[in-house]
Amino acid sequence: AVTLNYEWHVIDASQGGQDIIVYGGNGTLFASLDGSQSYGFDKGDEVYVNVTPNDGVDNGLTVESDHAIVLNSAPNAPVVAVTSATNPPMEGVDDLTCSITSSSTDDDGDNITYTYNWYDPNGSNAQIVPNTTSLSDTFAGTNTTSGLWECEVLAFDGTDTTSAFSDIEVDADWPGAVTFN
């Protein structure tokens, strides 16, 4: 019976390209490497495996796999909420606040910046606040009109972007025609 010996390597980008054996052994238990394990790998690393067959007496020729490059993982999307001091907010009066209630995280450990995009009821971008670490942004109530306002928050890790949205209905200051007798 032929058994296979697996020897997993990571060429560690953060260690100047050092080739490190991170996992190995005989049998199918060692046929895969999970990057979430304590001997895992990071963005920019190269991962490969050497496999050596053995017939119980002698080792066969060791074969090296193709090298896989570990790519960046995008940050997870933040959780976003749009609020106002009054509910519902009134057009031309009440400020709108877009808050990140749960921050983004990044599996690679990259720093995350946020961009806030405010969209008016017509879908036009009314305000952009780029590349900030602030967990909230305010849109001035004096610039609001009635209708559905939306805040989009983009989370950026230096390579990839994810987004989240929240909206709020802004009421008209004038309720409509009034009849006097």
**Residue 43, pLDDT above cutoff 90:** no
pLDDT in tens, 2-41: 999 999 999 988 888 899 899 999 999 999 988 766 667 7
CA angle 106, 151, 105 (to 5 degrees): 10
pLDDT at 28: 92
Task: Please give the C-alpha separations between residue 48 and each of 60, 67, 122, 132, in angstroms, as whole numbers.
Answer: 19, 5, 52, 38
- Retrieve residue 160's tokens: 């990839």
- Retrieve residue 16's tokens: 């100047």
Mean of pLDDT over the chain: 92
- Helix (H) or strand (E) run with residue 52 in it: strand 46-54
φ/ψ of 14, rounded to 5, equals: -80, -10
Calculate mean pLDDT across residues 147-170. Answer: 97
Contact criterion met (CB below 8 Å) for 113 and 99: no
- Of all residues in the chain, the percent with pLDDT exceeding 70 is 94
Confidence of residue 175 (pLDDT cuts 50, 70, 90): low
Determine the Cα–Cα distance for residues 85 and 153; give it in Å rounded to an integer: 21
pLDDT at 36: 67
* pTM, 2 dp: 0.75
CA angle 38, 43, 45 (to 5 degrees): 80
Determine the Cα–Cα distance for residues 6 and 56; give it in Å rounded to an integer: 16
Token pair 């009635």 is found at 146
Comparing 19-33, 76-90, 100-114, 166-180, which segment has the lowest mean pLDDT?
166-180
φ/ψ of 137, rounded to 5, equals: -145, 145
